[in-house]
A = this chain, B = another copy of it.
């Protein structure tokens, strides 16, 4: 089921196992942070995520709800998450709703909806 693929992807990110996460993306994968812009391809996803994840000791993406349709060959997954990033007893916490389109056993579209200011204000506060 496509939801299990998304769970594996999130677990890899929580373990800061970026190469493990990238293996689950299609070569033409689009990663779209709706209020901030999108990039295409696993290398561009890595270039976006790596410096951000490197700034934190602990990464927890708490999935409150996840629903799906189809299968890993042609499926859609959406989840509601609280993405938490910890460093030195400080936490950046971002409420996110994510869309994942799955084709041929890989994630081909990953689109996260969130409020840009909620992210930027917390990043500024953590320095």
Contacts and interface: CB of A to CB of B under 8 A. Distances in A.
Interface of A: 34-35, 65, 67-69, 76-80, 95-99, 101, 111, 113-118
Contact of A116 (B67, B77, B80, B117): B117
Contact of A115 (B34, B68, B111): B34
How many copies make up the complex?
Answer: 2
A101 to B, nearest CB: 8
Contacts of A69: 67-68
Given A67-B68, A67-B69, A97 B78 contact: yes
Given A34-B115, A115-B34, A80 B99 contact: yes
A127 B35 CA distance: 22
Contacts of A118: 35
B96 A113 contact: yes
A111 B95 CA distance: 11
Contacts of A35: 115, 117-118
Contacts of A97: 78, 97-99, 113
Contacts of A95: 34, 113
A98 to B, nearest CB: 8
